[in-house]
Amino acid sequence: MRYETVIGLEVHAELATESKIFCACSAHSFGSEPNANICPACCGMPGVLPIMNKRVLECGIKAGLMCGCEIARVTTFDRKNYFYPDLPSGYQLTQWFAPIATRGCVEIETSSGTKRIRIKQIHMEEDAGKLVHDISDRYSYADFNRTSVPLIEIVSMPDISSADEAEAYLERLKTLLRFARVSECEMAHGTMRCDVNVSIREEGSDAPGVRTEMKNLNSIRSIRRAIEFEAARHADAIANGTERLERETRRWDDEKGMSFAMRAKETAGDYGYFPDANIMPITVDDALIERLRRELPEMPEAKKARYMSSFGLSEYDASRLTESIALCECFEKAREVCGDAKAAANWTISETLRILNARKMTGDMLKIDGAGLGEIVRLVEDGKISRANGRRLLEEMFDDPTLSPAKRVAEEGCAIKADDGQIEAAAREAIAANRKAVDDYLGGKEKALMALFGQCMKRLKGNCDPLRLRETLVGLLAKGEKK
């Protein structure tokens, strides 16, 4: 018998807001000391009341618009009651009865073409704290930095049927949310987590299978492995009767590559949902939706097509640039300033991404001014500074985004000053002093030219146009300068 896998994903994305959802504490606690960003409100102390962060609402609406959802005109918050030490108020404020966005859809590319994954709803909610168990054998510690950090939960319909599709769906969501600046969606930093619901059924059947859920998976690799393992376990259980499938919540152990039963699946009744009276129903008017719609950026596909048609970029370059909205903005500004789309794209992709990778940063964390990059590209392309100096200036711009490249070049005096005569003199000296390198070059070793090139640069203190120097060296060697 052949089975098909039915997968539904619940994706939690931490919203890119400065403060928490219901208080003024900083929402950025990655790398902070435990309990550094807390107040009586997010610690659930008696007497404090939640005050809704307006930016969270805007992010929720933007996420809904990016996923083609209907936006609720009145949205409310509800209490999800459960007892756990990482939840100081004894209930989580979430949206059960009237979520901010419903009935959307996301398109993904699969091996058999484009597929639509329906979105059931997007709702806003607060995150819980974190328990730390490995400090002591006797105690567990609670870190409330993450408590009340704003999240959206994107609940898909069970339209996903393989690990590949799940990956494509997650990548697509990441791109959409990053483009709208709704979330950084950085799984490694915990700003995106995923609950995976898996069941299997006979191919072609509509009857639902027994669904199991695996919570808080935080890498695409884990999600893929968890789906593949769980689908295989279900198939084995049904085909061979190896175990009885239960509707339950399971824990995924990435090291062992297996899932383990945690508890029976909770139902809405277990949580005693009811409307929260401390937050008034929020009315969303057309004007707000329209304003936020106008603020949305051009969609990644449209941008990619425009880069290829208007700027003549290759598909590869256009794809790399449209991985992140920050990269796009940097490139577009750089192109405006230097007037050369290809050069701006090369510098953005090769140099900027190289530095980001070296600093373990993502494209969305890019803070440098695209105009500054454009200035560097123009200086290099015009032969006013060397490429090496351009790279160094770009590195410096990562540390100081306000840095003006032209001003720094003037201050440092690193502009290329050597004229053709000086370059030729330096080349002649280098050739005369490095007989072996000359012989090697003339004997066919192209790399030997770099030794001569380096010697010249040393003599000119890097103050020359590298292309001009190379041409001069090659010309002199061709004329038999060694003699």
Secondary structure (3-state) at 250: strand
Does the footprint of another protein cover residue 421 (CB under 8 A)?
Answer: no
Among 2, 31, 47, 263, binds another protein (CB under 8 A): 47
60: amino acid identity, one letter: G
Residue 382 CB-density burial (10 A; 0-12 exposed, 13-18 middle, 19+ buried):
exposed
Per-residue x/- track, 248-287, another protein (CB under 8 A): -------------------xxxx-xxxxxxxxx-------
Among 40, 312, 339, 454, binds another protein (CB under 8 A): 40
CB closer to another protein, 78 vs 159: 78
**What are 61's two structure tokens?**
């609406």
Residues 330-389 binding another protein (CB under 8 A) are: none
CB closer to another protein, 89 vs 148: 89
Does the footprint of another protein cover residue 83 (CB under 8 A)?
Answer: yes
Report how many helices (DSSP H) and strands (DSSP E) the chain contains, helices first.
17, 16
Among 2, 31, 33, 49, binds another protein (CB under 8 A): 49
Does the footprint of another protein cover residue 454 (CB under 8 A)?
Answer: no
Q: Least distance in Å: CB of 241 to another protein? A: 32
Report the alpha-carbon distance of residue 370 to residue 385 in Å, rounded. 18
Among 11, 29, 91, 218, binds another protein (CB under 8 A): 91
Q: Least distance in Å: CB of 90 to another protein? A: 3
> Who contacts 168 (Cβ-Cβ below 8 Å, separation ≥6)?
108, 109, 110
215: amino acid identity, one letter: K
Secondary structure (3-state) at 238: helix
CB closer to another protein, 272 vs 339: 272
Q: How many of the chain's residues bind another protein (CB under 8 A)?
A: 30
Report the alpha-carbon distance of residue 19 to residue 364 in Å, rounded. 19
Does the footprint of another protein cover residue 3 (CB under 8 A)?
Answer: no
> Who contacts 84 (Cβ-Cβ below 8 Å, separation ≥6)?
128
CB closer to another protein, 189 vs 247: 247
**What are 136's two structure tokens?**
């002591």
Does the footprint of another protein cover residue 404 (CB under 8 A)?
Answer: no
**What are 309's two structure tokens?**
């048609």
Q: Least distance in Å: CB of 137 to another protein? A: 15
Contact (CB, 8 A) for 131 and 145: no
Q: How many CB atoms are closer than 10 A to CB 274?
A: 13
User: Which residue's structure tokens are 């994903």?
Assistant: 9
Does the footprint of another protein cover residue 89 (CB under 8 A)?
Answer: yes
CB closer to another protein, 272 vs 401: 272
The contact set with another protein (CB under 8 A) reads: 40, 44-52, 79, 81, 83, 88-91, 267-270, 272-280
